[in-house]
Amino acid sequence: MFHRQSNPATTFVGLDVHKNSITSAVLAPEAETAVVDRFFPDAPSIRRFIDGLGDRSLLSVCYEAGPTGYALARLLDGWGVACEVIAPSLIPMAAGARIKTDRRDARRLAELYRVGQLTPIRIPTETEEAIRDLCRTRTDLVIDRTRSRHRLIKFLLRHNVVYRDGRHWTLRHDAWLANVRFDDEALTRTFARYRSILSGLDAEMAAVESDLKCYLADGPFAETVARLGCYRGVTELGALALGAEVGDWRRFPRATSFMGFCGLTPSEYSSGDRVKRGRITKAGNGHLRTQLVESAWSYQHRPSVGPGIANRQTRATDDTIARAWAAQVHLTAKFKRLSATKSSRNIVVTAVARELAGFLWAEMAAA
């Protein structure tokens, strides 16, 4: 992939990309004002626009990351045009700006791009993006299943049907659900529909997980799965999801940079002698943050190596296993220590997830 040009003859182009239109702002060398245009976002229209800008080697194009994805960047890259995708949350914003239009956005991108104030993101390969989308499909199904489970439990509660023999969604609970009966025909049909939806989601999840298994030991993230799977709370599918979301771990110079990318660092409003820290920023990649928080819950128990971890560690080196054990000892102690002083378990698990992110970054950054 190309990088931003430093040649004084470079023409900088900011694009505001939407489903049905692209608004461009072209900032020629020595020009103070960008020329704004608008065209349809298909390949012939884009080619005509690029051809009208002259020497492609002297072009630097950028646009914000968004729902249109990376297709445009890959298209321009194939034509020999330098193009970078910009992190929207890191674009400097004027404090008094209250007007937002496509033309203003494109012009501001071009201006900031020329002075080097924009932060590009890494563009994954098509294979990496495809695996990432499959991992996200599984995440969506998990969310849908959780919501469906809640609907079913609340439906039963409204009719005073309560399970009191242990945890929900165990084999015993499933057997109990199979024996629930209603006298009213409408309630019987409602209950059957809720259970049918859950069965369908369970089947879809099993199918997606089966599709993902072929990428665990083979593919661009095989090494990531083998190394991160040694850490407590990180299953092979979880490690695959982490690898697909991050891609290149070495693009983060420090563990704190990766923690910030996951949105797990506290927000801060400090000035002068006053220091005030608030909730986590939740900036960056929400999929990573969710996976890390889910993994962090496993550190509430004492350090141990169960059959699952032991099986995953058969593919790892002794150094990785040692680092994973050191992380487990540290994080379980931290979970216990914070639990004794914090009233909210969510605060505890978030703090543990933040440090877990640091351990995982250090693992993948190690030689």
CATH number at 36 reads: 3.30.420.140
Q: Tell me which residue range forms the domain holding 63.
A: 11-114
User: Does residue 227 share a domain with residue 196?
Assistant: no
Q: Which tens digit of pLDDT belongs to each residue from 191-235?
A: 999 999 999 999 999 999 999 999 999 999 999 999 999 999 999
pTM of the model: 0.88
Which tokens belong to 226? 């083998």
Residue 29 and residue 11 in contact, taking contact as beta carbons nearer than 8 Å = yes
Q: Give the closest residue to 38 by CA, choosing from 101, 131, 127.
A: 101
pLDDT at 181: 96
Is 3 within a domain?
Answer: no
pLDDT band at 8 (very low <50, low <70, confident <90, very high): confident
> Which residue, 187, 213, 239, sits at the end of a domain?
213
Report residue 1's pLDDT band, with 50, 70 and 90 as the boundaries: very low
In a domain, residue 4? The reply is no
- Is residue 52 a part of any domain in this protein? yes
pLDDT band at residue 5 under the 50/70/90 scheme: low
**What is 233-248 written as a DSSP string?**
T--HHHHHHHHHHHS-
Q: Are residues 189 and 287 in the same domain?
A: no
Summarize pLDDT for 72-112 with one digit per residue, the tens: 999 999 999 999 999 998 889 877 777 889 999 999 999 99
Average pLDDT value for the chain = 93
Q: Are residues 238 and 342 in the same domain?
A: yes
Q: Phi/psi of residue 30, each to 5°?
A: 70, -5
